[in-house]
């Protein structure tokens, strides 16, 4: 028996890219990718309550940049609601609220997580029973990283990142996540990639060693295989990031990498205790100011409470 939902909360994870291979810019301005997404335990929660009207609110710590999130109809969650409603021919209704913990403009797909959470929450709230295939197609229209935020775990991303295929991952990987007080514009990092690498291949090469490392569960092997083509342009735009990576590695992390287009940096550690020790050492330096510990892989957007 179906029951009408009065309200629910959906949780969606941040992502990092364990591998980010970028090809030459396409005619539509997007870049072909071969990436390995990894969902980590840093989440935005989106609650949705039945209402005849539409509203969207947001709360989050200042240090993740939540003041910079657009509201007033300009949020990716508004677009997700409009797209899902149009797909089914229903009205856009509900009181939605995001509790943000994923850094804004941090290269961890926080906006994409919110969009994925909204698709899952509104599908339930409006009692639509959208198929997984349709949800993934709607997600792809919202942004390159949104389908992965639905799927979670560890997955290969191709196309412009929107074609997502889960991969074998036999590790529980521990990360130190170092935030930056200032965001970095994803389009600006891609534009600088084009300047630095005018001869980038049409199709980025495979990431076979990284996939084998994930399958092996060996953190040293994974550390050696991690790669990000956007790291060089991100370093050029933000030289402090190169120092930050060196700082984390000198504190004992197995490997540091810029997350996606940055400026968040992630550091792979051997275990939870090791990650907490590295995070503690970085915090003792008092610079950078915000250091978190998270593990992965974790689930994609999922319901955590029913109303
Ligand atoms: O797809 P999404 O909205 O997340 O992309 C944001 C911006 O990042 C795009 O407008 C584009 O400038 C850049 N991008 C890209 N190639 C991709 C993904 C994103 O150039 N594969």
pLDDT tens profile 266-294: 999 999 999 999 999 999 877 767 899 99
The predicted structure's pLDDT at residue 1: 47
**For strand 154-158 and strand 163-166, is the pairing parallel, antiparallel, or unpaired?**
antiparallel
d(CA 79, CA 186): 19
User: Which residues of the chain are modeled with pLDDT < 50?
Assistant: 1
The predicted structure's pLDDT at residue 185: 93
The residues, ordered by sequence, that sit 6+ positions from 250 with a Cβ below 8 Å of its Cβ are none
Q: Judge whether 127 counts as a catalytic residue.
A: no
Cα of 155 from ligand 1 centre, angstroms: 18
Domain enclosing residue 24, as ranges? 1-307
- Report helix, strand or coil for 302: strand
Domain CATH number, residue 32: 3.30.230.10
Asked if 88 and 129 count as a contact pair (C-beta separation under 8 A), the reply is no
Instruction: Decide whether any atom of ligand 1 lies within 6 Å of the 160 Cβ.
Output: yes
- ipTM over 0.95? The verdict is yes
Count up the domains in the chain and report the number: 1
Instruction: Decide whether any atom of ligand 1 lies within 6 Å of the 261 Cβ.
Output: no
The predicted structure's pLDDT at residue 306: 81
Residue with CA at minimum distance from ligand 1 atom 21:
160
d(CA 235, CA 110): 21
The predicted structure's pLDDT at residue 182: 84
Instruction: Decide whether any atom of ligand 1 lies within 6 Å of the 143 Cβ.
Output: yes
Sign of CA pseudo-dihedral 178, 63, 115, 188: negative
Q: Judge whether 199 counts as a catalytic residue.
A: no
Binding site for ATP: which residues? 103-113
């Amino acid at each position: 028996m179906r029951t009408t939902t009065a309200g629910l909360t959906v949780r969606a994870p941040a992502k990092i890219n364990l591998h980010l291979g970028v090809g030459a810019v396409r005619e539509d301005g997007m870049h072909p990718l071969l990436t390995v997404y990894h969902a980590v335990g840093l989440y935005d929660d989106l609650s949705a309550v039945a209402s005849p009207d539409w509203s969207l609110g947001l709360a989050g710590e200042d240090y993740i940049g939540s003041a910079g999130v657009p509201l007033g109809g300009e949020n990716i969650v508004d677009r997700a609601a409009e797209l899902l409603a149009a797909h089914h021919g229903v009205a856009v209704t509900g009181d939605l609220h995001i509790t943000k913990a994923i850094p804004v403009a941090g290269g961890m797909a926080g906006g994409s997580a919110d969009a994925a959470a909204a698709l899952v929450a509104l599908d339930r709230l409006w009692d639509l029973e959208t198929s997984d295939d349709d949800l993934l197609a709607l997600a792809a229209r919202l942004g390159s990283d949104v389908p992965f935020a639905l799927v979670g775990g560890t997955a290969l991303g191709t196309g412009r990142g929107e074609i997502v295929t889960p991969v074998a991952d036999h590790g529980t990987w521990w990360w130190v996540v170092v935030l930056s007080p200032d965001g970095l514009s994803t389009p600006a990092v891609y534009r600088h990639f084009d300047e630095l690498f005018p001869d980038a291949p049409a199709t980025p090469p495979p990431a076979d060693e990284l996939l084998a490392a994930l399958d092996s569960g060996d953190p040293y092997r994974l550390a050696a295989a991690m790669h990000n083509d956007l790291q060089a342009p991100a370093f050029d735009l933000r030289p402090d990031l190169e120092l930050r990576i060196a700082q984390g590695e000198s504190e004992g992390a197995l490997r540091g990498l810029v997350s996606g287009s940055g400026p968040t940096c992630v550091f792979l550690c051997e275990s939870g205790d090791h990650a907490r020790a590295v995070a503690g050492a970085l915090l003792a330096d008092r610079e950078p100011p915000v250091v978190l510990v998270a593990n992965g892989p974790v689930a994609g957007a999922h319901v955590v409470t029913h109303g």
